[in-house]
Amino acid sequence: MASASLPDNPLLTSAKIVIAGGFGVGKTTCVQSISEIPPINTEAWMTAASETVDRLDPGIDKTTTTVAMDFGRRTIGTDLVLYLFGTPGQPRFWPMWDDLCRGAVGALVLADTRQLAASFPAVNYFEQDSDVPFVVCVNLFDGVLHHPLEEVREALALAAGVPLIACDARDPQSVARALLAVVEHAMARNPRPTAGALAAH
Amino acid sequence: MPMTYWKVRPYVLTAGRTRTRQPLLVHTLVSVPYYDAVFASGLLPEARSLYEHARRARSVAELSAVCGMTLGVTRVVVDDLAATDRLQIHDDAHSLDFRLLERLRDGLRQLA
């Protein structure tokens, strides 16, 4: 079983998958299911010190913005740790989304078929404002898929290349399969460099 | 989790700096390569708290949460300590690194 502290290994590396979606679609549950530590819900205070790229309107004297951010972690073997970061609020308002997504392997955008519109902004963000590969995932709140995935795809106007899956955010194995889909999608987007391409470097 | 309340404005601690010498992502791992109690006792409380908490490897985001510091300030403090080799910043495997993706895939398959 995973422990509370990380392996004592100077070569330990980390990877990150972002869990996005609207309010109440199950982001925290999803992180909680697979995290080896209780999800850390922290108010990451954004101050002027963290706004290196997207500054607030200089006319507004607003030096701090409180953003609730939660994240969890899962150790994979002795040399790799996977961090899961739930996105706070709506993407348009938070430079923090760019910060969270920087260097991410991929993103899992959760959707609730009872309130699909809640996940539109997250889908838009990953389609238009980010290069991070993403997979859309319908959260099965009561273990039942109420709408065929094709209908969901249509309702979200998802591009053909974006994988659409379903998972139960309460079930660790189901969440692991959803994260696996994200990693496999990222691998498909970044195929193994061929011998020729390596030689060219 | 006990919250640390600021006694000084954050930019006093960072001397107004907002940028770091190297990119520090929220999931970048940081650890203390060799712990030095004398060095720790000479640090400002915030930097000291961070130094103590990094004795076991932790990510920048975890350090920010556990020390009650903003991500921006945490990054600058980490960067300062790393500049004098008091902190080790673990290599970020590049997110497009195929070997990393393979390790991640294989690990998740075991959990699925």
Q: Check residue B19 and give its pLDDT.
A: 73
**What are the φ and ψ backbone dihedral angles of A196, each rounded to 5 degrees?**
-65, -45
Torsion angle of alpha carbons A19, A23, A25, A26, nearest 10°?
Answer: 60
In DSSP notation, A168-179 reads -TT-HHHHHHHH
Residues in chain A: 201
Q: Tell me the CA end-to-end span of chain A in Å, nearest whole number.
A: 42
Domain boundaries, chain B: 24-111
Q: Give which of B5, B46, B104 to mutate to test A binding, by max A Cβ within 10 Å.
A: B104
Among the partner residues A12, A183, A184, nearest to B57 by beta-carbon distance: A12
**Parallel, antiparallel, or unpaired: how do β-strands A13-21 and A80-86 relate?**
parallel
- Name the nearest CA neighbour of A127 among A84, A155, A157, A88: A157
Under an 8 A CB cutoff, do A103 and B90 touch?
no
- Name the nearest CA neighbour of A28 among A15, A16, A42, A14: A42
Count of H-run helices and E-run strands, chain A: 6, 7
A36 inside 8 A of chain B by CB: no
**What CATH number does the domain located at A13-190 have?**
3.40.50.300
Q: How many whole angstroms separate alpha carbon A156 and alpha carbon A21?
A: 12
Among the partner residues A81, A102, A176, nearest to B25 by beta-carbon distance: A102
- Tokens at residue A158, please? 């998802």
Contact B67, B4 (CB under 8 A): yes
A93 inside 8 A of chain B by CB: no
Total Cβ atoms within 10 A of residue B35: 12
Q: pLDDT band at residue B11, thresholds of 50, 70 and 90?
A: low
- Name the nearest CA neighbour of A96 among A44, A26, A24: A44
Q: How many whole angstroms separate alpha carbon A98 and alpha carbon A77?
A: 29
Q: Check residue A94 and give its pLDDT.
A: 66
pTM, to two decimals: 0.85
Q: Quote the percentage of chain A above a pLDDT of 70.
A: 77
Q: How far is B92 from chain A (nearest CA, A)?
A: 6
Q: Check residue B28 and give its pLDDT.
A: 94
| Residue A120 CA: distances (Å) to CA of A156, A165, A185 | 7, 16, 20
Per-residue pLDDT of A93-129, as tens digits, reads 667 888 889 999 999 999 999 999 999 999 999 999 8
Interfacial B residues in 14-73 facing A (CB < 8 Å): 14, 17-19, 23, 25-29, 31, 33, 56-59, 61-62, 64-65, 70-73
Per-residue pLDDT of A21-65, as tens digits, reads 988 899 999 999 999 988 887 766 554 444 444 444 444 444 455
Q: Check residue A182 and give its pLDDT.
A: 98
Among the partner residues B25, B72, B104, nearest to A76 by beta-carbon distance: B104
Q: Check residue B8 and give its pLDDT.
A: 56
B12 inside 8 A of chain A by CB: no
A103 inside 8 A of chain B by CB: yes
Q: pLDDT band at residue B37, thresholds of 50, 70 and 90?
A: very high
Domain boundaries, chain A: 13-190
| Residue B63 CA: distances (Å) to CA of A19, A47, A146, B72, B101 | 20, 17, 41, 12, 25
For tokens 């929220």, name the residue: B26
Under an 8 A CB cutoff, do B105 and A183 touch?
yes
Contact A25, A119 (CB under 8 A): yes
Under an 8 A CB cutoff, do A85 and B61 touch?
yes
